[in-house]
Amino acid sequence: MIKKAEIVNKPYSGEFEERIYDNASPWNSSNWTWIKFTDSDYNEWVGQFRGAPIQVAISENKNETLVLTSDYLFRLENKNGDLIEFEDQPQYHNLTTSPAGDFILADHYNINLINNRLKETVNISSPIEMDMIKFRKWKERKLEFTCDEFTNWDRHLVMELDADKLTIEIKDEQK
């Protein structure tokens, strides 16, 4: 059972058991991401994923892990690290897991909650049109993030996503 996952540099050959996650596609980049996984028995292994590294998130409640690279969004089973599904050419730049274990993703303009499959997402509406979304941190059940108001790029905001209500509020305006 995967308990920890972290982006690491390319390991030395033979340092860890390795698994390759790839998909043959003419759109693949030459970049790779290495994720070191630690299971509940403290065994470590490394997954090699196609694309430049962005983020990784674990949901113990769903028994799944998401790995986001520049080329793919990979969905793995926590029990054994098997690939469940993937989405190619994702537009996402942020990935996190809510305290309830839900996966939340953001591209530059929208924040989405993943339902049962990667392509089944729920868009979380915002009081403003957003641009340049960047997740910061969780404070209890609220995700703090920053963004600019779309077409008003001089307005820099700190926002809050309530994971229970799936609502977004303006928390503060940055000067």
Read off the pLDDT of residues 17-73 as tens digits, 9 standing for 90 and up: 999 999 999 999 999 999 999 999 999 999 999 999 999 999 999 999 999 999 999
| The pLDDT value given to residue 175 | 63
Average pLDDT, the chain: 94
Average pLDDT over residues 97-125: 94
Q: How far apart are CA 135 and CA 106, in angstroms?
A: 8
Domains and CATH numbers, the chain: 1-90 (2.40.10)
- Contacts (Cβ under 8 Å, ≥6 apart) of 72: 21, 23, 49, 50, 51, 86, 87, 88, 89, 90
